[in-house]
A and B are shown apart, each in its own frame.
Chain A
Amino acid sequence: MRDNRVVHHQVSEQVGENIDFVKLEGIAREIRRHVIRMTAAAGSGHPGGSLSVVELLVAFYFSVLRHNPSDPLWPDRDRLILSKGHGCPALYAALAEAGYLDREILTTLRKLGSPLQGHPDKRFLPVLEASTGSLGQGLSIGIGMALAARLDRLAYRTYVILGDGEIDEGQVWEAAAYASFHKLQNLVAVVDYNKYQLDGPVKQILDMEPILDKWRAFGWDAIEIDGHDLRQIVPALRREPEGRPRAIVAHTIKGKGVSFMENNNEFHGKAPTKDEAERALRELA
């Protein structure tokens, strides 16, 4: 059904079947540079969990989602919800690179009156699919969207990016049970498995392993990938539905791309200083 429709989205025109991975990697680097500049300018924010989710967002906005920045509310667009709302600096940067936002406003992040609120806020930025920030709710919102697609006989798919700490929340598993019971094959959950939550390594706070087995036990088609390898991410996200929802556990590195931020949980919720930002930008040049 998807393939027979008139395609009216920008992505296929941009990338088509010959995916230019080198170009995508360049966009990822640019988004990382935005994240550093944005959080440094704000003096707060969550750089660690923003940097871990960059390749996933690049894959979505530049190769997977059927969307159209000049018609952002197109009813049959694919939906993407960043349920781990604290990763929004990377989301805003990806939206800017995809043509939804003016790059100039990125450094207004977290400032009074900015559309780029500290966590995604649909009131200030209507192109967002949902307001998030209280963990555990995005997958349920996504189910509502997937059910609406089924009712309206629309072909769009709904994708939800969850944090690995976020899946501690019981609501995620209420949603997991519901989605598979109702065979929502138009729903995909992606876990940004960067191995850390706020208070420390997930292994020490609340280890949810075996994560793949949990999704499978809840009736999902579950696969794992390297969440920084676009050659793995794009085909995984594009895979045709197979009668049930799909969970993609993406192994990532918190703070990815900046040597002194990688696996350094200090940068979960702390912005780089001016010096640190300069060092980071040199590494990302």
Chain B
Amino acid sequence: MAREYPMGLATREAYGQTLVKLGHEDPNVVVLDADLSKSTQTHMFGKEFPERFFNAGICEANMVSMASGLALCGKTPFVSSFSVFLIDKSFDQLRMCVAYPGTNVKVVVSHGGISVGEDGPSQQAIEDIALACSLPGFIVNVPADEVATRALVRRAYERRGPVFMRVGRPKAPIIYAASEQFELGKGKRVEVGDDLTIITCGGLLIESLRARDQIEKEFGLRASVVDMHTIKPLDGDLIVAEAQRTGAVLVVEEALADGALSSAVARCLAERLPTLAAFVTLPDTYAESGTPAQLYDKYGLSARGIAAAARKLLDRKATAK
């Protein structure tokens, strides 16, 4: 029976609102942005707490290192910009000032993946998750809806040490009940099925759930759908439990094939329980302008593309038997 998901806030909006709440609770929370605060939604914090909001101008490198200086003096800085400008431009600063000394800096980026849409590839971060996962000590999160974002931003705040989180630009359907609890590093099985497990995160969770409905309707087969909101550290126990039960794992992510969720799941399965698997990722190229829905469809990430990949994997599973 297909569930209906009401439209909710964009995850970036949930981030901005949560920052304001944290700002009221803790005077040591500070926020830095690089002239994109209206897009990242940190402007809400800036309006409420102007003395604790630092707009670096279009100087991402300076912003990240400044955040580390604030952290070294006991502040809890959140730094935000478009993903591509923050992590691609300031990778050495994230490495040198945040990951390496382990400073308590939270990096929350918007406009990750191709769902940025019309602005095109210069604004679409497709390398960001792999880059973030490559930084030792970083936790890497991609929440799927406003409920998950609110909870995970809080978990990030509570953790002492670096966190990277990708939030999205488009409005996101609400998947979770408002009371849902989240823990860093613990994935969520949103739907249960015995034929196949789809492991995904972020904006592709809803596409995966829709794909699940299609597979059930068309083939009478049932998929588990796992929201792996924390890519690093990966919830290996959940993956292994699923793989044991379904014997087929489909990873779906809005990132390149190497270095992000696909790589992490593949490594986990190779080490612990070699399992039939397939990967729906961005192709090894830069995308183009278009609406998010058009781009998901063209680059194979829509429910239709996911269902097709699932079908192929299920065929392989049947042949293997």
Contacts A123-B101, A174-B61, A178-B56; is A147 near B66 (CB within 8 Å)? yes
The answer on a CB contact under 8 Å between B61 and A144 is no
Q: Is A116 an interface residue (CB 8 A)?
A: no
| Chain A residue with Cβ nearest B96 | A134
Partner among B61, B74, B101 whose Cβ is within 8 Å of the Cβ of A130: B101
| Chain B residue with Cβ nearest A145 | B69
Chain B facing A: main interface SS = helix
A152 / chain B contacts, CB cutoff of 8 Å? 73-74
The answer on a CB contact under 8 Å between A141 and B102 is no
Contacts A131-B101, A137-B97; is A171 near B72 (CB within 8 Å)? no
Q: Is A149 an interface residue (CB 8 A)?
A: yes
**0 or 1 for each of A121-163: is its CB under 8 Å from B? (1 = yes):** 0110000011111101100111111111101100000000000
| Chain A residue with Cβ nearest B92 | A134
Q: How far is the CB of A114 from chain B (nearest CB, A)?
A: 17
Q: Is A175 an interface residue (CB 8 A)?
A: yes
How distant is the Cα of A182 from the Cα of B51 in the complex, in angstroms? 12
Q: Is A202 an interface residue (CB 8 A)?
A: no
Partner among A141, A175, A177 whose Cβ is within 8 Å of the Cβ of B72: A141
The answer on a CB contact under 8 Å between B71 and A144 is yes
Q: How far is the CB of A222 from chain B (nearest CB, A)?
A: 19
The answer on a CB contact under 8 Å between A140 and B102 is no
**0 or 1 for each of B42-65: is its CB under 8 Å from A? (1 = yes):** 000000000110101101011111
The answer on a CB contact under 8 Å between A141 and B73 is no
How distant is the Cα of A140 from the Cα of B97 in the complex, in angstroms? 10
How distant is the Cα of A141 from the Cα of B64 in the complex, in angstroms? 9
B65 / chain A contacts, CB cutoff of 8 Å? 137, 140-141, 143-144, 171, 175
Partner among A133, A134, A142, A170 whose Cβ is within 8 Å of the Cβ of B69: A142
Interface residues on B, range: 20 to 34
| Chain B residue with Cβ nearest A170 | B61
Scan residues 44-63 of chain A and give those whose CB is less than 8 A from a CB of chain B. none
The answer on a CB contact under 8 Å between B52 and A151 is yes
Partner among B51, B73, B74, B100 whose Cβ is within 8 Å of the Cβ of A131: B100
How distant is the Cα of A75 from the Cα of B73 in the complex, in angstroms? 8
Interface residues on A, range: 20 to 34
User: Which residue of B30, B51, B72 has the most chain A CB atoms within 10 A of its CB atom?
Assistant: B72
How distant is the Cα of A140 from the Cα of B57 in the complex, in angstroms? 13
A75 / chain B contacts, CB cutoff of 8 Å? 74
How distant is the Cα of A11 from the Cα of B44 in the complex, in angstroms? 45
The answer on a CB contact under 8 Å between B73 and A149 is yes
Contacts A140-B69, A145-B69; is A175 near B75 (CB within 8 Å)? no
The answer on a CB contact under 8 Å between B73 and A145 is yes
Q: How far is the CB of B74 from chain A (nearest CB, A)?
A: 7
How distant is the Cα of A98 from the Cα of B65 in the complex, in angstroms? 28
Q: Is B93 an interface residue (CB 8 A)?
A: yes
Q: How far is the CB of A159 from chain B (nearest CB, A)?
A: 13
User: Which residue of A141, A146, A149, A178 has the most chain B CB atoms within 10 A of its CB atom?
Assistant: A141
Q: Is B67 an interface residue (CB 8 A)?
A: yes
A122 / chain B contacts, CB cutoff of 8 Å? 101
B95 / chain A contacts, CB cutoff of 8 Å? 134
Scan residues 64-103 of chain B and give those whose CB is less than 8 A from a CB of chain A. 64-75, 77, 92-93, 95-97, 100-102
Which A residues fall within an 8 A CB radius of B? 75, 122-123, 129-134, 136-137, 140-149, 151-152, 170-171, 174-175, 177-178
Instruction: Identify 17 new A-B residue pairs, CB closer than 8 A, beyond the known A130-B69, A140-B63, A140-B97.
Output: A134-B96, A137-B92, A137-B96, A141-B65, A141-B66, A144-B66, A145-B69, A146-B69, A147-B70, A151-B52, A152-B73, A171-B61, A174-B57, A175-B62, A175-B65, A177-B59, A178-B62
30 A-B pairs in the complex with CB atoms less than 8 angstroms apart = A123-B102, A130-B97, A131-B97, A131-B100, A131-B101, A132-B96, A133-B96, A137-B65, A137-B92, A137-B97, A140-B63, A141-B66, A141-B69, A141-B72, A141-B97, A143-B69, A144-B70, A145-B72, A146-B69, A147-B66, A148-B69, A148-B70, A148-B75, A151-B51, A171-B65, A171-B93, A174-B59, A174-B62, A178-B57, A178-B62
User: Which 5 residue pairs are nearest across A and B when measured between Cβ atoms?
Assistant: A144-B69, A140-B65, A148-B73, A174-B62, A174-B59
